[in-house]
């Protein structure tokens, strides 16, 4: 409902009611399943994927293919103390809500960008040790009635009063001893709110999702994704069934399957779909030495939303061993296949196939490759299983496989336009060399808080000569590409499509583009001067349609992307992180962003590197610090490049930051358990890396 409509209601209502009460009444959308499932509610953007279908399709029609070139910034909001901005803002009754770095949530006037309230869950104060699990980003928040839900990095689920930002309740969703974290947008449905977690790389962890009562924060149910130790008894029949597909003592390694994203509530069929994660550790030979499918890794699992009970599943990659997960958006649509209307779900997970599933019964209808896929030749629809190629499990030697761990498609939102019938996928064309030669598979042990995947993985390069990434329009019925736009850089943001057949996407190179959703013709290109990782949304207030997005290079490429990502120049703190809203009448002027900056290693003649210590420090660094400061200490944007920092030159300053937590309020974790020798070794490693770069 927009304000003009409100006005009409208001005029009638004022005849009977006091004005104050009426304003509240007329302006308050009740955010419940009916509202979130209603694709016609267009002024608001009530949930992560706009509606429960997760289509990111808006019926708004003021911005068209003809006038899109007139879009100009209408307002902007500089987001302080921020870096990795990947979230989808929500809009209810003229207020825009969003989550930024360190899980700070803000409510702004959606017509002016003026701040109404902000809430800081103080992650750096509450849990500075837990920040070691990395991933200082959240993909979003959720709203139910007048409550707003925030899931924090350290695993709290917090409910706020969305009118004033005051905390109503908070519950811890993760055992604080475990190196797990939350980056997913909580999902509200049926008076409950669902939250998952990540952490398969950080320790021997076992994934689950939990639903809480939206009003009280009491746990409603929990669904475990992989089985635990049979000696402890299984939580439910699904776990008993899943245990049949594991071998050895898998529970010692956690098993993984963590569902950190990809949750869809189906209001029509009263089902909940969760996308599950990869194995922990990645290498199946360690996890489940005699093979097996390892349910429910890398699957789509349908659950009863009231009880959390298992209904059905489809496993995308049986026995995954390449960090393939299905934590990508699960999009619902009615598709007419062979003359029959099918209640379908669609997903383009990491493994490179595009899946269409009948969501009434979980039947796989089709699965085709959207990029270069070398681990399987094709999908066998009869058995609903992939046909693997020989040698792909690096049995005897390392092998180059595509896609790699960043996937053919990651969490960057896929949209679906029911008018064009097309899905729009930000896709990646890269490969990885996997091997485990030299790793003690039988003796493999792992601690919490340390990156260790049980695989030697190395970048294998792009799989296409023409582009590292592309935006694809995919026909889910014919299972073929309809058009494609190549991108010069990798890790581009999620998409939005509208009833006027527009398609919007922000890119890693800082450009926001509009395309003709039918043909892929480029219609508009706006340079925002900083890599974009968040998807745009659209909303309408007082008859004016807005297009809004967060601008702040983020996610795993900004953490671990190495020199390829660092070359973009979106280095830590160099450019201002912003929320920007465009309209056809916009007159705001965005201050120019500083140009791309590649931090230069700091020379020092006083620091004499001890290479033995440096080697030891390298192990430490790549097991802990690299998650934010980059592999080999080459930072890609979410944390400072330590080769360019003066702090490692001083033992005292370094200790103050690393062991005493001087910068924990800014997102730098605290490492109380590092001893003096470890600290010294880290300094020597960082300086050795600085000197190696200077010598080049
Ligand atoms: C979760 C992400 C994360 C991890 C993991 C992490 N850091 Fe940091 N680190 C940061 C951020 C963010 C900053 C910048 C804080 C600020 O702006 O004040 C920082 C700053 C620093 C600084 C100060 C740099 C400067 O010039 O201001 C040092 C030194 C440092 N980190 C060392 C380490 C070491 C050593 C490790 C591993 C033991 C580590 N960090 C692990 C995120 C991280």
Residue 473 CA to ligand 1 centre (angstroms): 39
179 lines ligand 1 (CB under 6 A): no
Q: CA angle, 147 as apex, 145 and 153 as ends, to 5°?
A: 140
Give the nearest ligand 1 atom to 625 CA: 37
Residue 130 CA to ligand 1 centre (angstroms): 14
Label the pairing between strands 537-541 and 544-551. antiparallel
Provide the mean pLDDT of the chain. Answer: 95
Catalytic residues, by residue number, are 323
State the pLDDT confidence band at 472, using cuts at 50, 70 and 90. very high
Give the nearest ligand 1 atom to 644 CA: 26
- For atom 19 of ligand 1, the residue with the nearest CA is 668
- For atom 36 of ligand 1, the residue with the nearest CA is 625
State the pLDDT confidence band at 564, using cuts at 50, 70 and 90. confident
Q: How far apart are CA 77 and CA 71, in angstroms?
A: 17
Q: How far apart are CA 57 and CA 515, in angstroms?
A: 14
- For atom 10 of ligand 1, the residue with the nearest CA is 668
Residue 640 CA to ligand 1 centre (angstroms): 7
* Strand locations in 529-677 (E): 537-541, 544-551, 578-583
Token readout for 186 is 């909580």
From 559, 651, 668, the mutation candidate for ligand 1 (largest count of ligand atoms within 8 A of CB) is 668
Q: How far apart are CA 347 and CA 298, in angstroms?
A: 12
Residue spans of the domains in the chain: they are 3-30, 186-405, 611-695
658 lines ligand 1 (CB under 6 A): yes
Give the nearest ligand 1 atom to 679 CA: 35
130 lines ligand 1 (CB under 6 A): no
Considering the domain 186-405, what is its CATH architecture?
8 Propeller (2.140)
Provide φ and ψ at 662, rounded to 5°.
-60, -30
Residue 649 CA to ligand 1 centre (angstroms): 14
Q: Distance of CA 134 to CAs 126, 199, 493, 554, 627, Å? A: 15, 9, 21, 12, 6
- For atom 2 of ligand 1, the residue with the nearest CA is 628
pLDDT at 362: 98
Residue 538 CA to ligand 1 centre (angstroms): 36
Model confidence pLDDT, tens digit, residues 588-607: 999 999 999 999 999 999 99
Average pLDDT over residues 332-357: 98
Residue 346 CA to ligand 1 centre (angstroms): 39
Model confidence pLDDT, tens digit, residues 104-127: 999 999 999 999 999 999 999 999
Whether 186-405 shares its CATH topology with 611-695 is answered no
Residue 261 CA to ligand 1 centre (angstroms): 26
Model confidence pLDDT, tens digit, residues 77-112: 999 999 999 999 999 999 999 999 999 999 999 999
666 lines ligand 1 (CB under 6 A): yes
131 lines ligand 1 (CB under 6 A): yes
136 lines ligand 1 (CB under 6 A): yes
Q: Distance of CA 489 to CAs 257, 343, 492, 521, 628, Å? A: 30, 36, 8, 19, 21
Q: How far apart are CA 106 and CA 103, in angstroms?
A: 10
pLDDT at 6: 35
For the chain, the straight-line distance linking the first and the last C-alpha, in angstroms and rounded, comes to 60
From 128, 180, 628, 654, the mutation candidate for ligand 1 (largest count of ligand atoms within 8 A of CB) is 628
Are the C-beta atoms of residues 666 and 130 closer than 8 Å to each other?
A: no
pLDDT at 135: 86
Model confidence pLDDT, tens digit, residues 650-673: 999 999 999 999 999 999 999 999
In which element (H, E) is residue 149 found?
strand 147-151
pLDDT at 9: 35
- For atom 9 of ligand 1, the residue with the nearest CA is 668
Give the nearest ligand 1 atom to 624 CA: 37
668 lines ligand 1 (CB under 6 A): yes
682 lines ligand 1 (CB under 6 A): yes
Are the C-beta atoms of residues 342 and 365 closer than 8 Å to each other?
A: yes
Q: How far apart are CA 271 and CA 360, in angstroms?
A: 9
Model confidence pLDDT, tens digit, residues 139-155: 999 999 999 999 999 99
- For atom 34 of ligand 1, the residue with the nearest CA is 625
Q: Which of 280, 286, 380, 363 is nearest to 325 (CA)?
A: 280
Residue 608 CA to ligand 1 centre (angstroms): 22
Q: Can you give the pTM of this predicted structure?
A: 0.95
- For atom 7 of ligand 1, the residue with the nearest CA is 668
What's the CATH superfamily of 611-695?
Cytochrome c-like domain (1.10.760.10)
Token readout for 562 is 């190495």
Is it the case that residue 571 has pLDDT exceeding 90? yes
Label the pairing between strands 578-583 and 310-315. unpaired
Model confidence pLDDT, tens digit, residues 408-452: 999 999 999 999 999 999 999 999 999 999 999 999 999 999 999
Residue 656 CA to ligand 1 centre (angstroms): 11
647 lines ligand 1 (CB under 6 A): yes
642 lines ligand 1 (CB under 6 A): yes
Q: How far apart are CA 497 and CA 61, in angstroms?
A: 11
Q: How far apart are CA 464 and CA 469, in angstroms?
A: 9
State the pLDDT confidence band at 7, using cuts at 50, 70 and 90. very low
Helical residues (DSSP H) of 517-663, grouped into ranges: 556-560, 562-566, 611-620, 626-629, 651-658
From 451, 663, 675, the mutation candidate for ligand 1 (largest count of ligand atoms within 8 A of CB) is 663
pLDDT at 3: 35
Residue 627 CA to ligand 1 centre (angstroms): 10
671 lines ligand 1 (CB under 6 A): yes
Q: CA angle, 108 as apex, 105 and 113 as ends, to 5°?
A: 125
Model confidence pLDDT, tens digit, residues 187-241: 999 999 999 999 999 999 999 999 999 999 999 999 999 999 999 999 999 999 9
Model confidence pLDDT, tens digit, residues 13-64: 333 333 333 333 346 899 999 999 999 999 999 999 999 999 999 999 999 9
Residue 238 CA, chain-centre distance (Å), reads: 27
pLDDT at 25: 38
pLDDT at 569: 96
């Amino acid at each position: 409902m927009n304000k003009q409509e409100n006005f009409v209601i208001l005029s009638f209502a004022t005849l009977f009611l006091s004005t104050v009460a009426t304003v509240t009444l007329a302006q308050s959308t009740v955010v419940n399943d009916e509202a979130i499932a209603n694709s016609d509610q267009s002024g608001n953007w009530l949930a992560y994927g706009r509606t429960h279908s997760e289509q990111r399709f808006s019926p708004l029609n003021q911005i068209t293919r003809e006038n899109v070139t007139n879009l100009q910034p209408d307002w902007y909001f500089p987001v302080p103390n921020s870096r990795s901005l990947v979230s989808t803002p929500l809009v209810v009754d003229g207020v825009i809500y969003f989550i930024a770095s360190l899980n700070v949530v803000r409510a702004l006037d959606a017509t002016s960008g003026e701040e109404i309230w902000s809430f800081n869950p103080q992650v750096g104060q509450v849990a500075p040790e837990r920040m070691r699990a990395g991933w200082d980003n959240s993909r979003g928040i959720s709203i139910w009635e007048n409550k707003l839900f925030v899931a924090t990095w350290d695993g709290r689920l917090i409910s706020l009063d969305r009118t004033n930002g005051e905390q109503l309740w908070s519950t811890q969703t993760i055992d604080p001893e475990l190196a797990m974290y939350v980056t997913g947008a909580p999902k509200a449905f049926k008076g409950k709110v669902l939250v998952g977690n990540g952490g398969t790389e950080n320790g021997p962890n076992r994934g689950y999702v939990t639903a809480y009562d939206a009003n009280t924060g009491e746990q409603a149910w929990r669904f475990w994704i992989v089985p635990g130790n049979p000696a402890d008894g299984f939580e439910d029949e699904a776990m008993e069934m899943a245990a049949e597909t594991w071998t050895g003592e898998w529970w010692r390694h956690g098993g993984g399957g963590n569902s950190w994203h990809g949750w869809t509530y189906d209001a029509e069929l009263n089902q909940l779909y969760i996308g599950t994660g990869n194995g922990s550790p990645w290498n199946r030979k360690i996890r489940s030495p005699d093979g097996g499918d390892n349910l429910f890794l890398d699957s789509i699992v349908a659950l009863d939303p009231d009880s959390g009970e298992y209904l059905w599943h489809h496993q995308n990659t049986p026995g995954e061993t390449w960090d393939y997960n299905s934590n990508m958006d699960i999009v619902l649509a009615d598709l007419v296949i062979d003359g029959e209307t099918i209640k379908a779900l669609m997903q383009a997970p990491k493994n490179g196939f595009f899946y269409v599933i009948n969501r009434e019964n979980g039947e796989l209808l089709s699965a085709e490759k959207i990029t270069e896929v070398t681990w399987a030749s094709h999908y066998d629809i009869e058995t609903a299983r992939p046909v693997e190629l020989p040698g792909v499990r690096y049995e005897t030697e390392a092998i180059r496989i595509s896609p790699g761990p960043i996937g053919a498609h990651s969490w960057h939102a896929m949209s679906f336009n029911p008018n064009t019938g097309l899905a729009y996928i930000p896709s990646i064309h890269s490969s990885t060399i996997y091997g485990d030669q030299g790793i003690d598979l039988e003796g493999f042990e792992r601690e919490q808080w340390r990156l260790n995947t049980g695989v030697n993985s190395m970048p294998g390069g792009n799989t296409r000569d023409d582009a590292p990434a592309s935006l694809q329009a995919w026909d889910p019925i014919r299972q073929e590409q309809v058009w494609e736009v190549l991108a010069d850089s990798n890790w581009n943001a999620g998409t939005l499509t509208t009833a006027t057949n527009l398609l919007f996407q922000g890119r890693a190179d800082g450009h926001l583009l509009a395309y003709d959703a039918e043909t892929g013709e480029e219609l508009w290109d706006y340079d925002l001067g900083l890599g974009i990782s968040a998807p745009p949304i659209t909303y309408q207030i007082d008859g004016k349609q807005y297009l809004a997005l967060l601008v702040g290079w983020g996610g795993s490429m900004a953490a671990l992307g190495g020199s390829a990502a660092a070359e973009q120049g979106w280095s830590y703190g160099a450019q201002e992180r912003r929320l920007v809203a465009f309209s056809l009448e916009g007159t705001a002027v965005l201050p120019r962003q500083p140009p791309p900056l590649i931090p230069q290693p700091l020379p020092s003649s006083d620091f004499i590197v001890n290479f033995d210590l440096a080697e030891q420090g390298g192990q430490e660094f790549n097991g802990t610090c690299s998650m934010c400061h980059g592999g080999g200490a080459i930072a890609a944007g979410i944390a400072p490049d330590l080769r360019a920092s003066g702090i490692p030159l001083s033992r005292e300053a370094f200790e103050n930051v690393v062991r005493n937590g001087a910068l924990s309020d800014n997102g730098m974790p605290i490492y109380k358990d590092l001893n003096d020798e470890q600290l010294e070794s880290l300094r020597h490693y960082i300086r050795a890396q600085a000197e190696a770069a200077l010598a080049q």
